[in-house]
C-alpha cells in the first residue's frame, strides 16, 4: 500500500502556529511542510480543513466495554480488540495505550480473569497487522492488592508495555478521602449490602497496610531498571506529589486537588486530566475541573479515559473557551505532550521526519468532525 501523498489547501496545525499550506508524505514520513498552495496536479485538495497530528491516548479502559458489553456478557476477545481499535481510530487516535488493571478492587470484577485473554488478543491482532492504530500497554498497578506484584513481574517485560501507573484506591485517601463517598461509589456501583460493604472496606484497609508501600517501591524499581515511563494516580496532597517525583514519575494522572496539580506541574510531572471532564464541565466524582487547570496553565495532557471521542471535543472546547489556550496548545495536550511523556519521539507533531500519523478535521459550526485518518501515510479511516 502506498504511503506517499501530497496534500494541499490545508490549515496545518504545527507545534506553535497554524499555517495554510501543503504537506508532502513519503514512505510513511512527513517530508516537507510548505506555506501556500501547491499547483501540482497530483496534490489532494483538503478544502481548507485542518491537518492535525494523530492523537496519542495514554489511558483508556475502552477495551473493557467491548470485552463485557453488558453485565454477564463475555465477548470474544479478538473481536473485542478489533471493535475497540475501530472506535479508537474513528476518534482520531493513532496511538493508544490500552490500560490494563492489575489488582481489581471490584469485589465482583472480571478484570484479573480476563487479563490474559486481553493481552493475547492485543498482541495477536497487532502482530498480524489487523489493528489500524499502534497499540501499547499501560499497566495500572493497584498496589493494595495482594496479587499485584506477582502479576506485574510476569507482565513487565511484554514488548508492548511502555507505561506503568501506580494506583492506591484504599478508602480514606486520594480519590476517596471521605469514607462516605467511598461507600457511596462502590456500594452503588457494585450493589453491595451494608454488611458486604463493611467487610469490603475492612479488607481493603487491611491489604493496604500489608502491601501498598512495599509493592510501590518494588514496582518503581523494576520500571526504572527498564526505563519505563511511570505515572502517579489520584495524588491529593503535597506529600503524595513529592513521593511521586522522588520515584521518578513523569506523569501525574488525575490529581484530585489544585495543590497536587500545581506542585506536580512545578516539579516536572505532566498533569494529565480526563477529556470527559472538559466536555462535561467538571469531574463526575466531584474533584477538580480540568478547565480550571487549563486556565492556570497547568494542564498538560488530556486522556479520553472512558470516551474516545472526547479528545477531539475537548480540543474544540478549550480553543473556544477564551482562556488563553490556542488550537496548537490544545492539540499538543492530546498529541505532542503525550508523546513526550511516554518517550515516543517519532510522533505527536506535524514536523519533518516524524511519522505521517495525521488526520483531516472539518469544523462545522460548533463541531469538529473527523473526515480522514492516516497511519504512516496510509488511510485507516
Is residue 27 over pLDDT 80?
A: yes
Fold for the domain defined by 1-53+348-381: Urease, subunit C; domain 1 (2.30.40)
pLDDT 10s digits, 319-361? 999 999 999 999 999 999 999 999 999 999 999 999 999 999 9
Instruction: Cell numbers for 84, please give them.
Output: 475497540
Is residue 3 over pLDDT 80?
A: no
Is residue 108 over pLDDT 60?
A: no
pLDDT 10s digits, 272-305? 999 999 999 877 666 789 999 999 999 999 999 9
Strands 5-13 and 18-26, by their bridges, are antiparallel
Pick from 274, 271, 341, 272: nearest CA to 307: 274
Instruction: Cell numbers for 333, please give them.
Output: 495536550
DSSP state at residue 164: E
Question: Could you identify the residue written with the cell 471521605?
Answer: 178
Is residue 29 very low, low, confident or very high in pLDDT (cuts 50, 70, 90)? very high
223 or 288, which is more confident: 223
CA distances from 181 to 145, 173, 189, 276 (A): 21, 11, 12, 21
Is residue 137 over pLDDT 60?
A: yes
Question: Could you identify the residue written with the cell 512527513?
Answer: 30
Is residue 173 over pLDDT 70?
A: no
∠ CA 56-57-61, nearest 5°, is 160
In this structure, how many other beta carbons lie within 10 angstroms of the beta carbon of residue 75? 15
Helices (H) and strands (E) in the chain, counts: 14, 16
Domain extent listing, the chain? 1-53+348-381, 55-347
pLDDT of residue 271: 98
Instruction: Cell numbers for 109, please give them.
Output: 470484577
DSSP state at residue 183: H
Pick from 252, 54, 73: nearest CA to 167: 252
pLDDT 10s digits, 38-58? 878 889 999 999 999 999 999
224 or 190, which is more confident: 224
pLDDT of residue 198: 81
pLDDT of residue 192: 80
In this structure, how many other beta carbons lie within 10 angstroms of the beta carbon of residue 72? 6
Q: Average per-residue pLDDT in the chain? A: 91
Strands 44-45 and 50-53, by their bridges, are unpaired
Strand runs labelled E in the chain: 5-13, 18-26, 29-35, 44-45, 50-53, 55-60, 93-102, 134-142, 161-167, 229-233, 251-253, 270-274, 301-303, 358-364, 367-375, 378-379
- Nearest-angstrom CA–CA distance, 250 and 264: 9
DSSP string, 259-322: HHHHHHHHTTPEEEEEHHHHHHTS-TTS---HHHHHHHT---EEE-BT-TTHHHHHHHHHHHS-
pLDDT of residue 105: 60
pLDDT of residue 201: 79
pLDDT 10s digits, 232-250? 999 999 999 999 999 999 9
pLDDT of residue 274: 96
- Nearest-angstrom CA–CA distance, 205 and 196: 14
pTM of the predicted structure, to 2 decimals = 0.91
Top-level class of domain 55-347? alpha beta
Pick from 287, 148, 258: nearest CA to 207: 148
Contact (Cβ atoms closer than 8 angstroms) between residue 244 and residue 232: yes
Q: Cα-flanking dihedrals φ and ψ of residue 373, to 5°?
A: -135, 135
pLDDT of residue 374: 98
Is residue 104 very low, low, confident or very high in pLDDT (cuts 50, 70, 90)? low
**Continuous H helices in 4-110:** 62-67, 77-90
pLDDT of residue 177: 64
Amino acid at each position: 500500500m502506498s504511503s506517499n501523498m501530497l496534500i494541499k489547501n490545508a490549515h496545518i496545525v504545527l507545534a506553535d502556529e497554524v499555517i495554510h499550506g501543503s504537506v508532502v508524505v513519503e514512505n510513511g514520513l512527513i517530508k516537507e511542510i510548505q506555506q501556500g498552495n501547491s499547483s501540482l496536479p497530483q496534490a489532494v485538495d483538503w478544502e481548507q480543513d485542518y491537518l492535525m497530528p494523530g492523537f496519542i491516548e495514554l489511558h483508556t479502559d475502552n477495551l473493557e466495554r467491548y470485552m463485557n458489553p453488558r453485565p454477564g456478557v463475555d465477548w470474544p476477545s479478538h473481536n473485542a480488540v478489533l471493535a475497540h481499535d475501530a472506535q479508537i481510530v474513528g476518534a482520531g487516535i493513532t496511538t493508544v495505550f490500552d490500560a490494563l488493571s492489575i489488582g481489581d478492587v471490584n469485589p465482583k470484577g472480571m478484570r484479573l480473569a480476563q487479563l490474559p485473554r486481553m493481552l493475547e488478543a492485543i498482541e495477536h491482532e497487532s502482530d498480524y497487522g489487523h489493528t489500524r492504530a499502534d497499540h501499547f500497554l499501560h499497566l495500572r498497578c493497584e498496589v493494595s492488592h495482594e496479587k499485584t506484584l506477582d502479576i506485574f513481574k510476569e507482565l513487565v517485560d511484554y514488548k508492548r508495555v511502555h507505561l506503568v501507573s501506580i494506583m492506591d484506591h484504599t478508602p480514606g485517601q486520594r480519590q476517596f478521602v471521605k469514607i462516605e463517598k467511598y461507600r457511596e461509589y462502590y456500594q452503588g456501583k457494585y450493589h453491595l449490602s451494608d454488611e458486604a460493604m463493611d467487610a469490603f472496606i475492612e479488607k481493603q484497609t487491611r491489604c493496604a497496610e500489608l502491601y501498598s508501600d512495599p509493592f510501590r517501591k518494588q514496582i518503581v524499581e523494576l520500571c526504572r531498571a527498564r526505563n519505563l515511563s511511570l505515572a502517579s494516580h489520584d495524588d491529593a496532597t503535597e506529600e503524595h506529589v513529592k513521593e511521586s517525583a522522588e520515584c521518578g514519575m513523569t506523569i501525574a494522572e488525575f490529581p484530585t486537588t489544585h495543590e497536587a496539580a500545581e506542585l506536580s506541574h512545578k516539579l516536572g510531572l505532566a498533569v494529565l486530566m480526563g477529556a470527559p471532564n472538559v466536555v462535561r464541565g467538571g469531574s463526575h466524582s466531584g474533584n477538580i475541573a480540568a478547565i480550571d487547570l487549563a486556565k492556570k496553565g497547568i494542564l498538560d495532557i488530556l486522556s479520553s479515559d472512558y470516551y474516545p471521542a472526547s479528545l477531539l471535543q475537548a480540543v474544540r472546547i478549550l480553543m473556544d473557551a477564551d482562556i488563553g489556550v490556542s488550537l496548537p496548545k490544545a492539540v499538543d495536550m492530546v498529541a505532542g505532550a503525550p508523546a513526550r511523556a511516554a518517550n515516543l519521539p517519532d510522533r505527536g507533531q506535524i514536523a519533518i521526519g516524524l511519522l505521517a500519523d495525521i488526520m483531516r478535521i472539518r469544523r462545522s459550526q460548533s463541531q469538529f468532525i473527523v473526515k480522514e485518518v492516516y497511519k504512516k501515510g496510509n488511510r485507516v479511516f
